[in-house]
Amino acid sequence: MGRSRRHEGGGGGERRGAGAGGVAAAAFAALLLGCVVMALVGGAAAQGPRLPSDYKTLSGAAPLVVARGGFSGAFPDSSEGAYSFGASASAPGTAMWCDVQLTKDGVGLCLRDVNMKNCTTVDQTYPGRKRTYVIDGVHKTGWFVPDFTSAELLQSVYLTQAIWSRTERMDGIYPIVTVPDVQSIVNTSPIWLNVQHPIFYKQRDLDMSSYIHSIRKLVRMDYISSPEIGFLRNISARVRRRTKLVFSFLDKKLLDHSVNQTYGSLARNLTFVRSVASGILVPKDYIWPVTADNYLLPSTSIVTEAHEAGLEIYASGFVNDKAVPFNYSYDPLAEYLNFVGDGGFSVDGVLSDYPITASEAIGCFANLNSSKTDHVTGKPLVISHNGASGDCPDCTDLAYHSAVDDGADVIDCPVQVTSDGVLMCMSSINLLDTTNNAAFIAKSLGIDMVDSVTAALSAAGFSNQTTKEVLIRSTDSAVLVKLKQQKTRCKLVYTLPLGIGDASKPSLKDIKAFAEAVVVDRTSVFALSYDFIMGQNRIVRDLQAAGLAVYAQVFRNEYVAHPFDFLGDPTVEINYYVQTFNLSGMITDFPKTVRRYKENTCTALGKDMPKYMRPVEAGSLADFLRSFQTQPPSVAPMPALNSSSVEEPPLPTAAPRNVPPGGGAPADAAGTAGGAAPSDASSGGAPPSDARHTATGSSGMLLVVLVSAALLI
C-alpha cells in the first residue's frame, strides 16, 4: 500500500498521557532492538573496535551523535517517545536535542518550531488563534508558542509528525514535554538546548537568557546553540564552564540581527566566532556543496578552518527520508561517512533525525577504506540485479563494470532473445510483458531457450573452467528440469512466485528434485500493511529447513523501498536479513551497500556488538501502535506454495523456422553474442568487447536469469 499523510496540522489516534507514552516507547525500544539492554562502557568501546585517534576531529575522539528532538524520524519530534527511543537505540553518549520555546507565562517547552502549525494539534484545539508575525525578517502565519499559556498547551495540545513522508499513526499520542522533563526521560544522555529565536521572544517580553539561567540547576546543559551571537555572548557568563556554546549558522545570505552581519561573512571570520563559542553548527552544504541537479561539488575548507581556529564543527540536516545527493546512491549511511572520514576530514558531530544511522556510520563503518576485509565472512553472496542498476541503466556495460567495482560476488544476466536467436542481457521491455515463457518461444519462434543458453555458455568458455561458478535461475520449473536432465554443471536456482507466505512439504520436495537454491522476493517475507510489518511469514524458514539455499531479492536503498520497521535505513534492513535468516545471497540494485555491510567492524564482536547493530524486532512497531489503537489494518495471510504452483508441463520441441536474411542459427547466434555474458542491451547482439569479458572475468560467479522473453525486432 502507498504511504498516506494527514492533512496539515491534523492529529490522529487516541490521546494518552505522557507517562504511558514514555513507558511504552522505552519498552518498544528494547523490543525493536531484540531486547538488548547491554550498556557498553567507555567511548571507544561503545562506538566500535577503533581507537579515538582514528578520527580527525578536533579532540581525536569519535564524532558526537546528536538526536534532533530524540529519534524524530520515527516518533513526533521532541516527544517522550522520541527521546526514550533515541536514548535506547543510539550509541551511548548520544546527545538529545531540544528546541527551547517559551510560553506566555515563561515555561520552557521542547518544540520543533515556535510556529506550532505543523508539529502539534493546536489548530484543532484553538482554531481561532491563528496569528501572523515577522520572524527574522520573514512573515509567518500560524499558531505561536508565546501566545499561549503553559496550561493551555500542556493540557490539551498534542504532538504530530512535522515531516509528511513519516507515519501519521503516532500523531495525537504524545503531549508536549517541558525542558526540565527531558532530563528525567533521557537519564544520563547529554542534553543539547537550541535557542532559535531569542530576539523574537525578547520582543514579547520573554527573556531566553534569564530562562536558561533559571534552569541551570534543574537541567544538565551540556550544549547550548543559537544562530544569534548576541544571545551566546549574554549567557556565556551565566552557564557552567563545562557547557559548550555553539554558534549555529543559517543560510549564508541571511542576517544575524544580533550583530548585523550575514552568516556568510561570519563564516569568513571564525576567529571572532571563537571569542564567543567553542563550536559551530553548519548546514551540510557549508561542507559539501550540492549542484542544482543534486550532485556533490568538491568539499570546502571550513572543517579545516574551524579546527585551526580551535572550534569544533558540527554538521546539521541529516535525515533518511529525503533525497541525498546522487553520489551517495540513495544511502544515508554513505553520506555520514563522507563527513566523518571518507572525505579526508571529520566533523566533530552530526545532527540527525535518525541517530541509529549516524551511530552505525561512526561506530562500525568509518575508515573502512583503509581495510577491505569482510568481517561478515562467507554468506551472504552479493549478487547484482541487472548490474549495479541502482546507479546505472540496467544491464549496460557501465552497470556491470560498476557492479564488479562495487564488490559483487555474482554478476547477473537476465537473458532475452531476438527473433533471429541472438541472446542478450536485458531486464525487460514493455512489449514482452505477456510473452515471457520458454514454451511460447519454442512454439512460436522456434527457439529452444535451454539449448541456446547452454551453447552460449559453452561458446563463452564457462563450460571448460572450474574457477567460476555459473548459476541459472528461472521462474519456469520446466526450464530447470530440462537442464537437470542434461546433467548441467551449473547450479540451478528456482524463483518462487510472488506473495507466497509458506511452502507445503510436497512443493519443497518437488523443488529439490530440480534445484539447489531458491530466490524469494522480499515482499513474501513479511505481511505488510501501509508499510508496517504485521508479521513474519514462514517461507524462508521452510525453504532452509528443506535444505535449500535461499537468496532474497531485490534490495534497494531508496527510502520508500523499506518498511517503517527498518527506520529508513538500508543497512538496518540488510542487517536484519543477515543476522535473522543467514541468507545464502542477497540480490541488490546496489552491490556496494551490501558489500560495505560485510566489511563492518561490529557484527563480528559477538556479545560486545553495539546495541544499534543488533537486528530489529520486525513487527514490534505495529505491536507498539496497538497499545494506542492506531495500528494499521490487519492483512489476510499469504497463500502457501503447493505442488500445482511448482509443476510445469515439459517444454515443447522448438518448431522449425526460417532464418531471416543476415541471421544465423540459434546456437551460432548465441555464441557470437557472447552468450549469457553481460552485454550492452543497445548492442543488438554484436560480439562482446574485451571490456565485457573483463567485467565477467573479474567476478567470481555468473548468474544467468532465464526470464525467457522474446525480443521481437
DSSP 684-708: TTPPPPHHHHHHHHTSSEEEEEEEE
* Average pLDDT in the chain: 85
pLDDT at 12: 35
pLDDT at 711: 37
Backbone angles phi, psi at 182, to 5 degrees: -60, -40
| Cβ 580 vs Cβ 615: under 8 Å | yes
The pTM of the whole model exceeds 0.75: yes
In a domain, 582, yes or no: yes
Per the model's pLDDT, the better-predicted residue between 43 and 206 turns out to be 206
212: exposed, middle or buried (Cβ count in 10 Å: 0-12, 13-18, 19+): buried
Render pLDDT for 576-628 as a digit per residue (tens, 0 to 9).
999 999 999 999 999 999 999 999 999 889 999 999 999 999 999 999 999 99
Question: Among the listed ranges 7-16, 272-281, 421-430, 635-644, which one has the minimum average pLDDT value?
Answer: 7-16
Question: Among the listed ranges 269-273, 368-372, 595-599, 682-686, which one has the minimum average pLDDT value?
Answer: 682-686
pLDDT at 657: 61
Kindly state the average pLDDT of the residues 108-117: 97
- Whether the per-residue pLDDT at 17 is higher than 60: the answer is no
Residue with cell 546522487: 326
Residue 377 pLDDT level (bands cut at 50, 70, 90): low
Of the candidates 643, 672, 689, which is a domain's last residue? 643
pLDDT at 463: 73
pLDDT at 691: 35
- Whether the per-residue pLDDT at 672 is higher than 60: the answer is no
**Is there a single domain that holds both residue 387 and residue 360?**
no
Kindly state the average pLDDT of the residues 651-670: 53
Residue 639 pLDDT level (bands cut at 50, 70, 90): very high
DSSP conformation letters of 119-138: TBSHHHH-TT--EEEEETTE
Kindly state the average pLDDT of the residues 84-91: 95
Domain hosting 587: range is 381-413+470-643
In a domain, 70, yes or no: yes
**Is there a single domain that holds both residue 277 and residue 409?**
no
**Is there a single domain that holds both residue 512 and residue 391?**
yes
In a domain, 460, yes or no: no
Q: Which CATH number do you get for residue 610?
A: 3.20.20
pLDDT at 419: 77
pLDDT at 11: 35
**Is there a single domain that holds both residue 253 and residue 394?**
no
Render pLDDT for 126-140 as a digit per residue (tens, 0 to 9).
999 999 999 988 999
**Is there a single domain that holds both residue 357 and residue 243?**
yes
**Is there a single domain that holds both residue 305 and residue 391?**
no
Residue 101 pLDDT level (bands cut at 50, 70, 90): very high
**Is there a single domain that holds both residue 170 and residue 223?**
yes
**Is there a single domain that holds both residue 301 and residue 394?**
no
In a domain, 161, yes or no: yes
Of the candidates 366, 398, 422, which is a domain's last residue? 366
DSSP conformation letters of 566-619: GTT-HHHHHHHHHHHH--SEEEES-HHHHHHHHT-SSGGGGGG--GGGSPP-TT
- Whether the per-residue pLDDT at 464 is higher than 70: the answer is yes
pLDDT at 252: 97
| Cβ 104 vs Cβ 154: under 8 Å | no
All cell numbers assigned to 661? 536474411
All cell numbers assigned to 663? 541471421
Residue 666 pLDDT level (bands cut at 50, 70, 90): very low
Q: Name residue 551's beta-bridge partners.
A: 519, 585
pLDDT at 467: 74
- Whether the per-residue pLDDT at 643 is higher than 70: the answer is yes
In a domain, 25, yes or no: no
| DSSP H or E segment with residue 509 | helix 505-512
Render pLDDT for 505-518 as a digit per residue (tens, 0 to 9).
999 999 999 999 99
Cα separation, 146 vs 205, in Å, equals: 10
Q: Which one-letter DSSP state was computed for residue 370?
A: G
How far from the centroid of its chain's Cα atoms is residue 713's Cα?
40
**Is there a single domain that holds both residue 279 and residue 359?**
yes
Residue 417 pLDDT level (bands cut at 50, 70, 90): confident
pLDDT at 424: 84
Percent of the chain surpassing pLDDT 90: 70
Please count the other Cβ atoms lying within 10 Å of the Cβ belonging to residue 137: 8
Cα separation, 42 vs 45, in Å, equals: 5
**Residue of 651, 146, 664, 196 whose CA lies nearest to 449:** 651
Length of the chain: 713
Question: Among the listed ranges 435-439, 473-477, 538-542, 569-573, which one has the minimum average pLDDT value?
Answer: 435-439
- Whether the per-residue pLDDT at 14 is higher than 60: the answer is no
Residue 125 to residues 108, 157, 457, 479, Cα–Cα distance (Å):
20, 7, 70, 64
**Is there a single domain that holds both residue 392 and residue 323?**
no
pLDDT at 53: 53
Residue 279 pLDDT level (bands cut at 50, 70, 90): very high
Please count the other Cβ atoms lying within 10 Å of the Cβ belonging to residue 512: 15
All cell numbers assigned to 342? 571518507
pLDDT at 434: 39
**Is there a single domain that holds both residue 493 and residue 577?**
yes
Per the model's pLDDT, the better-predicted residue between 6 and 440 turns out to be 440
**Is there a single domain that holds both residue 387 and residue 358?**
no
pLDDT at 520: 98
Render pLDDT for 36-59 as a digit per residue (tens, 0 to 9).
322 222 233 334 444 445 789 999
In a domain, 655, yes or no: no
643: exposed, middle or buried (Cβ count in 10 Å: 0-12, 13-18, 19+): middle
Backbone angles phi, psi at 511, to 5 degrees: -65, -45
Render pLDDT for 167-193 as a digit per residue (tens, 0 to 9).
999 999 999 999 999 999 998 999 999
All cell numbers assigned to 433? 510483458
In a domain, 321, yes or no: yes
> Number of folded domains in the chain?
2
In a domain, 15, yes or no: no
Residue 700 pLDDT level (bands cut at 50, 70, 90): low
Of the candidates 643, 674, 702, which is a domain's last residue? 643
DSSP conformation letters of 279-295: EEEEEGGGTS-B-TTS-
pLDDT at 455: 86
| Cβ 185 vs Cβ 97: under 8 Å | no
Cα separation, 392 vs 387, in Å, equals: 8
